[in-house]
Structure 1
Amino acid sequence: MALKWGVAGAGRISHDFVTAVQTYPKSDHVFTAVAARSKASAEKFAKDHSIPQSYEGYLGLAQDRNVDIVYVGNLNPQHFETTKMMLEHGKHVLCEKPFTMNEKQTRRLYQIAQEKKLFLMEAIWSRFFPATMEMKRLIDSGAIGEVLHASVHFGHQIDHVDRITAMDLGGGAILDLGVYILQFQQYVFRNLKPIKIVINGHVNKFGTDESCGAVITYPEGKMAVVSTSTRLKLPNEGIVVGTKGTLRLPDFWCPDKLIMPDGSVKTYPLPVSSVPFLHHNSAGLCYQAEEARQCIKKGKIECPHIPHAESIELARLMALFRKEVGVAYPEDSQEF
């Protein structure tokens, strides 16, 4: 039976997500409803993507009995309340990253999901690309020996976009781009806890961070070097170095190729859609949706590739980075 999806948010990322997932058979995934803040946006999105039901506001979507799981793709500061509403109405949720604005909100959502026995996952889509999964398999198999170093640098010239810079929209390099670099090094050094983190960065005139970098030291001589920027296009490559070789992941956040230790390149073609995508390699958004379907089918409430504990740790790291750089959001003072 097909997993019935609802969509919260009718923006660009939701367009790409729906377009990607619709490359799968309708016997596996079907979209039944979409909600947005404005009626016009919801109706247009529904028409563009052949979705039968649209809602102004999110409550109607939460109450829709023809929805199994909701993809939350609205603005960063709205993730918490939207996801909370969906969970409280019995919906499974796949929520875009950054999952919430801080660690407190993140912990609260996972608590609700566990109490209600509902599947909840942060949409770290990067981990589900075949190229990423092959990289992880090679690391775990010892193919490149003991991994001692990882580096990843992610930057785009996007400081002209309000969503990226404005405080009230949850802007900042750390939340929007930093989540990618942090999840990458976390995935490489999985199950290890940092013993020291040195962080530096710059804040823009709006009070949000425009760039950030860090050296993250782990036990046993392991280290990660990471940086992100909203003012510069950086190499945007993930590199993993072991005692027996190096793996390179170009476009690490949405990779379709992996460079092996001998320099050869493995390619992983992405699904093809007749509908244009708005973002680079967005066809790969489909992989996390299929992972969610498989997890729900098996009765799981969390995904082994991005379990609740790792999502919480990402939120903790991003909060630490923001604190060191000097960025605080109104949500940070929220109490439950």
Structure 2
Amino acid sequence: MAEEKVLNWGICGAGKISNDFCSAMMTLSRYEREHKITAIAARSQEKAQKFADIFEAPKAYGSYKDVANDPDIEIVYIGVIHTEHVRLSMMMLEAGKHVVCEKPLAPTWQECKKVLDYAKEKKLLFLEAVWSRFFPVYDAIKDEVNSGNLGDISMVTTQFCIPIMSVERLCRKDLMGGVLLDIGIYCIQFACHVYGEMPEKIIATGSLNEEGVDEDGCVILLYSGNRKASLVYSGKTASGNNTATIMGSKGQIFIDDCFWCPKSVKLTDTTLENKIPEGPSPYNFYNSGGLRYEADHAFKLIRSGQLDSPKYGYKDVEMIHKIIDEISKQIGLKY
């Protein structure tokens, strides 16, 4: 390719996370040369137009199908409720669009596999947007783990506790609610980031609400060589000190609150920081400016012809969702 043309984005969903993604993407130093928010789609034309006006998108659609049919759009960000993730991902892939879909892609590995296999068949990029993996400090964490500076790593701990069970989409079974898919997935991805393999054994416990969706969980992942990960997450407690630690025989890495979207990380001999700038539209979630990194990563993958991310690729989706499947089985979580 002679030059890197602008990547035209279609945005499905005009809610909080889509706002944060668009606002964060616009903070990229090369935004105007590499990215363009071309179209917004929502469940109503009015809502789509209001969102489009905020981000100066030239097109607003009251139907997601219109995004699929728009020939100007090369990539689609899916930021709707996750009960729609598989359907819309398949729709956009069928239309020949690359896809960045908010997590969780689906409640089961088999449903995730259906989407990934179709993306491979269509020779298109598909990213499940576990945004943690695209933060520069997560690269630094992986490099430090692989360097040997920590010695033999034998323990990983994470905690993610915030009072969110009053949120409608999380407390209802028909909306595939629960905290495992919402915040527990961040704890799981962190352990997988460190160890890079499936655990040999999983021990999980959690409590379900009256509708049968999970409100909290404690999970132990047991790996070969007596290595372990201890994961704690809850949607019904007061906010905790939501940190993560990697412990080795020679040293440790500490990631302060919020470990899934950290502003900084304390390595064995230095502290590294991310740039998390404010965007043109106020953010709704912690450190949402970091969403800029997944947008930038998608651009680089597409323009270099890579269809599987080295930071969070198909093997990572498989590993994490197979662990989710086993945890769901053990705690009695069924959709």
Matched, 1:13 2:17: yes
CA separation in 1, counterparts of 2:240 and 2:279?
29
Find the partner of 2:144 among 138, 142, 151: 138
Give the alignment of 1:171-210 within 5 angstroms. 171-190=177-196, 192-210=197-215
> 1: CA distance between counterparts of 2:247 and 2:225?
14
Aligned to 1:332: none
**Amino acid aligned to 1:30:** K
Secondary structure of the residue aligned to 2:128 is strand
* 2:289 counterpart of 1:296: no
* Whole-angstrom CA distance in 1 between matches of 2:63 and 2:324: 29
Once the two structures are superposed, residues 64-94 of structure 1 have per-residue CA deviations (whole angstroms, 9 ceiling, x without a partner) of 1111100011001100000000000000000
8 Å contact 2:275–2:290 — kept in the other structure?
no
* Count, aligned residues: 327
- RMSD over aligned CA atoms reads 1.2
Secondary structure at 2:305 match in 1: coil
C-alpha displacement of 1:283: 0.2
Structure 1 distance, partners of 2:271, 2:121, is 45
Alignment check: 8 A CA contact 2:75 2:100 kept: yes
SS in 2 for 1:187: helix
Q: 1:187 Cα deviation (Å)?
A: 0.5
SS at match of 1:26: helix
Structure 1 residue 220: Cα displacement: 1.1
The separation in 2 between residues aligned to 1:116 and 1:67, in whole angstroms, is 16
Matched residue SS, 2:283: coil
1:3 alignment counterpart: 7
Q: Distance in 2 between matches of 1:268 and 1:91?
A: 30
Q: Given the alignment of the two structures, is residue 231 of structure 1 paired with residue 232 of structure 2, yes or no?
A: no
In the alignment, is the contact (CA less than 8 A) between 1:172 and 1:210 conserved in 2? yes
Which contiguous aligned blocks of 4+ residues in structure 1 show a shift greater than 2 angstroms?
264-269, 271-275
Cα distance in 1 between the residues matched to 2:241 and 2:202: 22
8 Å contact 2:40–2:59 — kept in the other structure?
yes
Q: Tell whether the 8 Å contact from 2:149 to 2:268 is kept in structure 1 after alignment.
A: no
Q: Which moved more, 1:116-125 or 1:264-273?
A: 264-273
Q: Given residue 266 of structure 2, which amino acid in structure 1 is its aligned partner?
A: I
The structure-2 alpha-carbon separation of the partners of 1:59 and 1:274, relative to structure 1 and needing over 3 Å to count, comes to closer
Taking the TM superposition and a 5 Å limit, the aligned residue runs for 1:244-255 are: 244-250=250-256, 251-255=258-262
Secondary structure at 2:334's aligned position in 1?
coil
Question: Which residue does 1:23 correspond to in 2?
Answer: 27
Identity %: 34
Pairing 1:319–2:317 present: no
Can you give the 5+ residue segments of structure 1 that lack an aligned partner in the other structure?
Answer: 330-336
How much does 1:267 deviate? Answer: 2.9
TM-score, normalisation: structure 1? 0.95
| CA deviations over 1:209-232 (Å, ceiling 9, x no partner) | 000111100001211000111012
**Residues 316/34 of structure 1: CA separation in 2 closer, same or farther (3 Å cut):** same
Separation of aligned partners in 1, 2:315 and 2:139: 20
> What letter is aligned with 2:26?
Q
Task: Give the deviation of 1:305 after TM superposition.
Answer: 0.8
Q: 2:334 aligns with which of 325, 328, 333?
A: 328
8 Å contact from structure 1 (residues 129, 256) kept in 2: no
Name the amino acid aligned to 1:11: G
| Residues in 2 aligned to 1:126 and 1:189: alpha-carbon distance in whole angstroms | 16
